[in-house]
Amino acid sequence: MSVTETTKTFAPAGTWAADPVHSHVSFEVAYSGVNTFRGGFQEFQAVLAGGDEPTLEGTAKVGSVDVKDEQLNGHLQTPDFFDAARYPEIEFRASGLERIDGDRVEGSGELTIKGVTQPVKLIGTLSEAPATDPFGRERLGLRLETSIDRTQYGVSWNAPNQSGGDYLANDVKLIAELALVKQEG
């Protein structure tokens, strides 16, 4: 790796906050052995501190989980899954973020679900340069994903599939697609 490659700035200096209208935080899990089940969180926040030592912090409100079925939304908030009464937020922190090549990025961080914190590895993309929106605000697009074993966080409900195995896989893909807006000051 050349000196130029190792000194690339991850993101321009400043504070960049997720625009919730143009951002999405979601999850994917294999279901019933035949397809992928998807859901997301309607209420979340994320802030990237750019510069030479970038950090990304975010939370998602468990009560805002949305899987397009009210009954299942309610079940996901019980102790079988996220236990929203005891653990109302999922938290994420990353400090090991680096630009690999062009728009490709990698990093590491910590994810906390149900009071359990585990390290995670991240891969994704980041705009190579900010774009200016019609209102004069600078924007960056950041997409990160990781895979976790949900049972390591105490999210272990399952049911036997009559065709064999379990209905839900243990491995879950987490995806954050963030439209980041540079904050003033």
Residue 136, pLDDT score: 95
The overall average pLDDT reported for the chain is: 93
Strand ranges for the chain from DSSP E: 11-18, 24-31, 35-41, 44-51, 55-61, 65-66, 89-101, 104-113, 116-126, 131-132, 138-149, 168-182
Whole-prediction pTM:
0.92
In order, the DSSP letters of 71-83 are HHHHHHTSTTTT-
Measured CA to CA in angstroms, residue 7 lies from 13, 53, 100, 178 at distances of 14, 11, 10, 24
Has residue 45 got a pLDDT over 80? yes
Specify the higher pLDDT residue, 62 or 6: 62
pLDDT tens digit sequence for 103-129: 999 999 999 999 999 999 999 999 999
